[in-house]
Amino acid sequence: MQKIASGAIGKVGSIYSISAKLIDVATGSIDRTVSEDCDCAIELVLTNSINRLARKMANLEMKDEIGGMVLTRGDASLFIKSNPDSAHIIIDGERIGKITPVTIRDIMAGDHQILLKKTINGVEWNGRQVVRAVPNKITEVAIILGHEPTALQISSNPGEVEVYINKKQSLNYYPRYSTPAVLKKLNQGKTIIHFFKPGYSDTTLQVEVKPYVLNEISVNLTPVETQEKLDLQNTFIKHRMQRRVGKWSLLTSVIGFAFSTYFAYEAQDNFKKAQDALEQLKRPDIRNNQSLYDWYVEENTSRYYDYRFNQKAFVAALATSCVICGTGLILYF
C-alpha cells in the first residue's frame, strides 16, 4: 500500500462540509487535500458530494460552461422549468447562475437536489425537488414555487419597541416580537398593530395586510408628556417582570413538592423495613445464628440512617417549596 485516503464530514447550519486528504504511507506527508460543501440533504451528500470529492482527489473534475460552476461532467441532462418562471437554480447546494426554464447538459447521472428561488414584490418564493438524472437522456423537471402567505416588515423610531398583534401589552405575557421584525403567516386583511416602549406614548396602527407582497410599516413614537405616565409604564414593566418570576417560582415549587412527596415515601418505606429488621432480631433462630444476626443488625442500622436522611430531606424540600411557593404567589399577585 502506497497511499491512504482519510476524511471527515461536518455540518454547520444546513451546510454539510466534507474534507479528505491523501497521505503517503512511506513518508507520512499529505500529497493532496480537497473539500466539498453542500447545502443539501444528507442523502445527496452520500450519493453526489462524496462522488465529486473523489473525482477531485483524482484530478477528474472539470469546469462546465454553467456560470463558472465546478461540475463533474457526465452524460445526463436536465430540463428545469418552474411556475412562476425566471427562478434562480441551485443544484446540490451550488448556485449555477442560470434561471428557469433552461436545459443543464452533461451532468453526472444519479440523484440531484434542485432548489429554485425567486423574489416577487419583496416576498421570496422557493421550490425544492430531488430528481434522478438518467444517462443519455434529458430529464424534465417541473417545480411549482411556494411562499409564505403574507409578510409584514415592521420598523420603528426608536428601535426595540414591543410589538403586539391584535392585542395590547399585558402583565400575563411577554411580546413575541420587537422592532425591527418581519412577521409571517399573518391573516390577510385588517390587522391591529400595537407598539409599546417605556418613555414613549403607546401607539396603535391598523394595517391592511395584502398577500403576495412585502407589506411594510414604519412608526415614529412620541415621548410621553408627563412624569406620571412614565412612572406608570415603569411600574408596569416592574410588575410584569415580578409576575414572570412568580410564574417560574410557582412551577419550581411544584417540582419541590414532588421531591418532598418522594422523600416522604422513601422515609416511610425505610422506616417500615428498619422496624421489620428489628423484629427479626427477636426470633430465636436468628439470635442463635451469629452471621444472620449481624446481617439483620446491619440491615436495621442502614435502613434507620436512610430513614433519617429521607426525613431530613423531606423537611428541607417541603420548607424550600413552601418558601418558593409563597414568594411566587406574592410576586404573581
Cβ contacts of 6-12, under 8 Å, gap ≥ 24: 7/53, 9/45
**What CATH number is attached to the domain comprising 199?**
2.60.40.1120
What confidence tens digit (pLDDT) does each residue in 168-227 have? 999 888 888 999 999 888 888 899 999 999 999 999 999 998 887 889 999 999 999 899
- Closest to 328 (Cα-Cα) out of 259, 253, 261: 253
187 and 112 within one domain:
no
**Vertex 322 angle, CA 321 and 327, to 5°:** 100
84 and 143 within one domain:
yes
The tens place of each residue's pLDDT in the chain, 333 residues long, gives 888 888 888 887 777 888 888 888 888 788 778 887 777 777 777 777 787 788 777 766 544 444 444 455 667 889 999 999 999 999 888 888 889 999 988 888 888 889 999 888 777 888 999 999 888 889 999 999 987 778 899 999 999 999 999 999 998 888 889 999 998 888 888 999 999 999 999 999 999 988 878 899 999 999 998 999 999 999 999 999 998 888 889 999 999 999 999 999 999 988 888 888 888 888 888 888 888 888 888 888 888 888 889 888 999 988 999 999 998 888 887
168 and 132 within one domain:
no
Q: Which three cell numbers stand for residue 265?
A: 415515601
Domain limits at 316? 228-332
* CA 306 – CA 174 distance, rounded (Å): 45
* CA 260 – CA 309 distance, rounded (Å): 12
Residues 6+ apart with CB under 8 A from 89: 80, 95, 96, 98, 99, 100, 102, 104, 114, 115, 116
What confidence tens digit (pLDDT) does each residue in 317-327 have? 889 999 999 98
The reported pTM is 0.54
Q: Are 155 and 145 in contact (CB under 8 A)?
A: no
* CA 18 – CA 159 distance, rounded (Å): 41
Question: How many separate domains does the chain show?
Answer: 4
C-alpha of 279 from chain center: 58
232 and 221 within one domain:
no
